[in-house]
Amino acid sequence: MSKKQTIRDLKLDGATVLVRVDFNVPQKADGAVADDRRIRSALPTLQYALDHGAALVLVSHLGRPTGKPEEDAKFRMDPVARRLEELIGRPVVKADDVVGPSAQAARANLKPGGIVMLENVRFHPGEKKGDPEFARQLASLADAYVNDAFGTCHRDEASMVAVPSAFPAERRAIGFLVEKELDILQTLLGEPKRPMLAIMGGAKVSDKIQVIENLLAKVDRLLIGGAMTYTFLQAKGHAIGTSRSEPDKLDLARMLMEKAGDKLMLPVDVRVTDSVSPPGTVQTIDGHDLPEGWGGIDIGPKTAAIYADLIKTAGTVVWNGPVGKFEDEPFRDGTLAIARALAESPAITVVGGGETAEAIEQFGLADKVTHVSTGGGAFLESLEGKTFNSLAIIPDLN
């Protein structure tokens, strides 16, 4: 993986820099920012540019706009701009459009040290279409382009590919957040410190097939949890009760188990419930056969202890997918045990995927691991071995 040109390589003094950030943050019912982790993650890049004499024009998407103004009002960037203003300690001017009169006026009044946040870039139809004219208008607002939106790097939208293409190569760069993500991925996919473990949770084997296949050649152990456990158990002929599974993916699960051999570890005990809506009755079942009328909802305590011991003696650990329904307190013990083990491990510990990041943040342990990726889909696709046009357009360092 080649090293990319970063914001350190740009001439910033007196320049206006268009920074593609990923401020697609969780929102409360009133539209306020519910979790500002993604905003905080971008602060080092933004502060560096400001400290070196630049002005900033920030572009991000938020939510899934439909194109209907009344429905989309909750996706305006105003609450995000207010939260950034609080975090960065200086005014943030919010434009009411992306490339129209409001954006143009805000840009005209921008001075070194100033910040403009454009309206939700997905409000403009040119973003999803990768429209070159829209990209040209957006690029005209600045002298240089910085991609610090790792969570959107797997998308070929205008602000990710066509906009940087409108700048000369020497004025395109990545920010510190994207640089860190790429460094971590290089560690995971290059020469990781041994032994290397991957913990795969979540619901579907089919969602993780390419990740699992790509990691099998690299990891020493692959620890399975979450609802995907029961597809593997069903494929081995075990009774899974009412557990969620993918009956049409049993051959796939068998193929993966055959390919993995003793690298792949399934839970030795599971927590089961007679109702997924608490307060159902919960019990622990040893072994792999579940009673009729009961469904698996979490890994059991013996499995949690085995997995935790492996994590604590590992050299590198990558975790994607909760191992139980952690959102509900009766079913969070397994996911919490994994999170605590990562926090206590001397290994390089990397957490990726939206729900997994949410879990470790909720447990207050995000600062105790090496890295929590801000890119859900982009992180997964990177682990699959995919490359992104949004990064290919950024020059490599000589």
Annotated binding site for ATP: 208, 296, 327, 353-356
Name residue, tokens 């020497």. Answer: 170
Catalytic pick from 302, 315, 354, 368? 354
Which residue type is seen at 53? Answer: G
Catalytic pick from 4, 38, 94, 107? 38
Does 130 participate in catalysis according to the annotation?
A: no
Minimal CA–CA distance to 386: which of 154, 78, 96?
154
Peptide bond between residue 195 and the one before it cis (omega within 30 degrees of 0): yes
Does 38 participate in catalysis according to the annotation?
A: yes
Binding site for (2R)-3-phosphoglycerate: which residues? 38, 122, 155
Rounded Cα–Cα distance for residues 264 and 256 (Å): 9
45, 107, 174, 177, 300 from 21: Cα distances, Å? 10, 18, 11, 10, 40
Catalytic pick from 82, 180, 204, 218? 204
Does 204 participate in catalysis according to the annotation?
A: yes
Phi-psi region of 95 (alpha: psi -120 to 50; beta: other; left: phi over 0): beta
Minimal CA–CA distance to 346: which of 225, 195, 198, 191?
195
137, 200, 229, 291, 295 from 250: Cα distances, Å? 50, 17, 11, 20, 18
Strands 144-148 and 16-21: parallel
In the numeric block, which tokens belong to residue 203? 């619901």
Whether the CA torsion 277, 282, 287, 291 is positive or negative: it is: negative
Minimal CA–CA distance to 63: which of 96, 34, 105?
34
Does 377 participate in catalysis according to the annotation?
A: yes
Distance of alpha carbon 330 from the chain centroid: 26
Binding site for substrate: which residues? 22-24, 38, 61-64, 122, 155
E strands, the chain, where?
A: 16-21, 55-59, 93-94, 115-117, 144-148, 172-174, 196-200, 221-224, 264-265, 269-273, 282-286, 295-299, 316-320, 348-351, 371-372
**CB distance 142 to 17 below 8 Å:** yes
Query: Known catalytic residues?
Result: 38, 204, 354, 377
